Every structure is written in C-alpha cells, then in structure tokens.
Amino acid sequence: MIGGNESCTAGPIPMSYLTCLTYILGEWTGVEHIEDYLSYAVYLLWVLFPLAVVFLLPGVLVILFYTSILLLHIYKRKNELKEAYSNDVWDGAKQMLATLWDGHGRIWHGYELHGAENIPEGPGLIVFYHGATPADYVYFMARLLIQRKRYCHVVADHFVFRLPGFKLLLDVHGVMHGPKEECVSALKKGYLIAIAPGGVREALFSDEMYNIIWGNRKGFAQVAIDAKVPIIPMFTQNVREGVRTLGGIKILRSLYERIRLPIVPVYGGFPVKLRTFIGEPIPYEPNITAEELAAKTKAALQALIEKHQKIPGNIFRALMERFQTQKKED
C-alpha cells in the first residue's frame, strides 16, 4: 500500500489526489477498473439525492419535538426547588419552547398568524383542518402565547400518548386525551381548547384538494354546546404543501383502518409559505343540535379553505409565495 501511495507522486506525471485514491482503492480491493464502479455509484447518489431529501426533511420536525423534550428535562432539573413552591413553574419552559418553535416557523416558513382578534378573551373551542403533521398548530400555539399571552390546549389522538419520551412534553402543555367530560370541564374553567375533528385520518388521507374528512363526527359540537362556548374555525394556508403523505395508496388506507396506527410515509418538509387564518366565532346557541352545529362549523372551515387556499395545492407555487406579500383574497 505504501508503495502504491508513493507511486502516485513519483514519476514524471504525478497523479491527482482522486486518481491516486482510486488507484489505492483498486490495489486494496483487487477490483479491476474500480473507477467505473465509483462513477456509477456517484451517478446513483446524484439521482437519488433529491428523493432522499424529501423523505428525510420531515425528520427535522421530529428532532425539534425531541429537542423540546430535552429542554424540558433540563428546565425541570434546574427548577426542582421552585416546583415545590410555585404552581407556575412551567411558565418559563412554555415561553422558551414557544420561542424555539416560533423561530423555526419564521425562518423556515415565513409563518404568519391572521385574525387572532377573533379569539375570545374567555373560553372557546378552536376547530382546525389537520395537515400531514401538526407543525402548523404548534406554530400557532407558540405565536399566540408570545403575542397575546394566551395558551391553547389541544386534543390529541391516543397514539400520541404512546410515543416514547413524549409524556413530559404532553403533560407540560396540557395535551388532552379528548373525553367529552374532560373537555367540557376544561372549557368551563375558562380554557382555550383546539381540536381537529378529522384527526389522523384527515392528516394522512386528505390531499392537495384539501378535502375535510370528518365522517359523522359531532362530539366536538356537543362539547361546545354543553360548555356554552363559541367555536372558532382555523385553517393554515399551504399546510399540505409543506409535508405530504402517500395516503393515496389504497392498501395503506386499508391497513390504517385495521390497526389504527399512522404508518403512512410522509415526505417534504419544504419551506413553503404558511399563513394561519382565524375565522369569525360561531356563537353559542342554546337551541341548536350537535348535528346542526357540526355542519355549520364544517361550512365555516370550508369557507376559510376556499377563501385562502388555491386548489389544487401546488408545492412550487407555495414556495414562491414566500416572496409575495399579498394573500389570496387580495
């Protein structure tokens, strides 16, 4: 090997470092014409790199979630004495994580929040369209906490509570399982709660047409009626262009309906423009039924989608909107 390395620099025509490395690798492996194999490997890498990127970028969100969890554990260790004397020991941690997520939303998506004045001072139930990931809701929650000092609890799917390491994060942010009694009780205490009636099914199997997939779900409407609070519709523009799913594959839909686990692959993580729009509240009406209120809420959310989202969604257009200042209705 040493002799081969010396031959790279010796002689009247010295070899380049790349040629030298190829020569050494060929001598070590005993493979003839190894440069042809290396050229093919480089070609495959060049072809497959964009594909690898679109599937790996969503992992950034996972890293951010676990970074948040790590910061919470550090915060907890540094504030163990305060915890014994204060009921608001996690306020600083919430502000810290809100700053982290709001910074990511600003830098990566140019995130904007519009219509926050439609959120009442008291309790209310925010109903939103579920994208492939809940990142847009996290950006909204962070911006709301920073700008208006309001905190919004959220109802999550049961599988979220089984994710490894997420318990502290969910506890600190008051994420709820979603029983009606728990939600009604929280609203009567003056909390602001958010829920996506479409849940995981809407997240995985809606598409660039932004179809609302609620089925016959009306429990959220009954919660609002029982708690006597308004419903506030919410939608995030381009949320399905940031991260998309392979939910159009029928076998994946059948598998989900059988095991109820979100095993559908996602891809993207594109830095598209995200704008969250808060619609006008739907006030409490004592004589309305849950079916009527659910239909009314769905119509209000559909109106937000039609007003603020160009359909079908387009990733390139959503990327270009990062450089625009006007919203769709303008």
List, by residue number, the catalytic residues.
130
Which residue's entry shows tokens 């790996």? Answer: 56
Quick one: tokens of 302? 């559909």
Query: Which ranges in the chain belong to alpha helices (H)?
Result: 2-9, 17-29, 34-56, 59-78, 80-83, 91-109, 135-148, 167-172, 180-188, 199-205, 219-227, 239-242, 250-259, 290-308, 315-320
Quick one: tokens of 189? 């205490």
Give CA–CA dist 138/152, Å, rounded.
Answer: 10
Measured in degrees and rounded to the nearest 5, phi and psi for residue 119 equal -80, 125
- Determine how β-strand 192-195 pairs with β-strand 124-128: parallel
